[in-house]
Amino acid sequence: MDTKELLNGVKEGKVSVEDALVVLKTAPFTDLGFAKADNHRIVRQGSTEIIFGENKTPEQCSAIAAALLDGGAECVLVTRCDKEKAGRIASTAPSAYHDEARILVIGVPPAPKDGSLVAVVTAGTSDIPVAEEAAVTAESLGSRVVRIYDVGVSGLHRLLSHSEELARANSVVAVAGMEGALPSVVGGLVEVPVIAVPTSIGYGAAFEGLTALLSMMNSCSSDVSVVNIDNGFGAGYIAGLIDRRTSR
């Protein structure tokens, strides 16, 4: 039972004050032994806890998701989740698996508000899996997402052809490997926050994303911030938060 439902139950006389107090005292988290599912995060932050699926068993993911759903969450994400694991988790609840993003979405994401728009941009096609992690995350938080892929600086006209879409966005996620130049260029074109995501794509001197990371951190565009290498989830989450507050 979520907090709003509980308070309405007290108001309507369906739940006693004593029972409500017990629920509120135990609501902050559900202790599963191997994990403590944070049921209160949706109250504190407006979105439910996200399950990092890597190195967790399907049974552990299922139990955590069930605890979050029982605690009032309408949509739960399992990130870094392969297809086989997703299939075993999905049998316990209605869900949708996004193969390229490696994300399992359990439940129903909130509908986008009027004016909602997050742009997810990649330098190349090889960056798409990380970009999809960002896009699916933002969509699951309730954002409308436009995908603008393969518009790197080696052919700048490709990016400029999407100037109108970029101008309408409330936040932009720019994903690039190699030398990581794309976010600086995007940052010079828009008046909204740009979340840069370095990817581990590139030849030897790319150092598995370290070159792109350092390049982005030294961006001359003042509206660019940077998340960790291949962290599409983190970028999508931040972009979704910005979009949610802007589209209010």
One pLDDT digit (tens) per residue for the chain, 248 residues:
566 777 778 878 878 888 777 766 666 787 788 888 887 777 777 777 889 999 999 999 989 988 888 877 888 999 999 998 898 887 666 788 999 999 999 988 888 988 999 999 999 999 999 999 999 999 999 999 999 999 999 899 999 999 999 999 999 999 999 999 999 999 999 999 999 999 999 999 999 999 999 999 999 999 999 999 999 999 999 999 999 888 66
Q: How far is CA 147 from CA 136, 159, 163, in A?
A: 11, 12, 13
Q: Looking at the structure, tell me whether residues 71 and 125 fall in a common domain.
A: no
User: Is 112 contained in some domain?
Assistant: no
The per-residue pLDDT for 27 is 66
Q: Looking at the structure, tell me whether residues 143 and 242 fall in a common domain.
A: yes
DSSP tag of 105? E
Q: Looking at the structure, tell me whether residues 87 and 128 fall in a common domain.
A: no
Distance CA 190, CA 37 (A): 38
DSSP H helices, the chain, are 3-11, 17-26, 41-45, 58-70, 83-90, 128-140, 156-160, 163-168, 182-187, 210-217, 232-246
The per-residue pLDDT for 200 is 96
User: Is 56 contained in some domain?
Assistant: yes
Q: Looking at the structure, tell me whether residues 8 and 51 fall in a common domain.
A: yes
Q: Looking at the structure, tell me whether residues 136 and 26 fall in a common domain.
A: no
Q: Looking at the structure, tell me whether residues 45 and 65 fall in a common domain.
A: yes
Q: What is the pTM of this model?
A: 0.85
The per-residue pLDDT for 72 is 77
User: Would you say 37 and 71 are in contact if contact means Cβ atoms under 8 Å apart?
Assistant: yes
- Matching residue, tokens 């589209």: 247
Q: Looking at the structure, tell me whether residues 87 and 21 fall in a common domain.
A: yes
Q: What are phi and psi of 52, to 5 degrees?
A: -80, 110
The per-residue pLDDT for 243 is 94
- Which of these, 224, 145, 134, 239, lies nearest to 182 by C-alpha position? 224
Q: What are phi and psi of 39, to 5 degrees?
A: -75, -15
Condensed to tens digits (0 to 9), the pLDDT of residues 87-105 reads 888 766 678 899 999 999 9
The per-residue pLDDT for 92 is 62
The per-residue pLDDT for 100 is 94
Distance CA 214, CA 226 (A): 10
- Matching residue, tokens 């949509």: 75
Amino acid identity, position 233: F
Q: How far is CA 16 from CA 5, 19, 20, 22, 40, in A?
A: 13, 5, 6, 10, 21
Quick one: which H or E segment has residue 171? strand 171-176
Residue that terminates a domain, selected from 107, 142, 170: 107
User: Is 113 contained in some domain?
Assistant: no
The per-residue pLDDT for 26 is 62
**Count of domains forming the chain:** 2
The per-residue pLDDT for 1 is 55
Residue that terminates a domain, selected from 87, 107, 127: 107
Residue that terminates a domain, selected from 107, 138, 166: 107
Q: Looking at the structure, tell me whether residues 146 and 241 fall in a common domain.
A: yes
Tell me which residue range forms the domain holding 34: 3-107
Distance CA 91, CA 225 (A): 39
Q: Looking at the structure, tell me whether residues 38 and 129 fall in a common domain.
A: no
User: Would you say 97 and 127 are in contact if contact means Cβ atoms under 8 Å apart?
Assistant: no
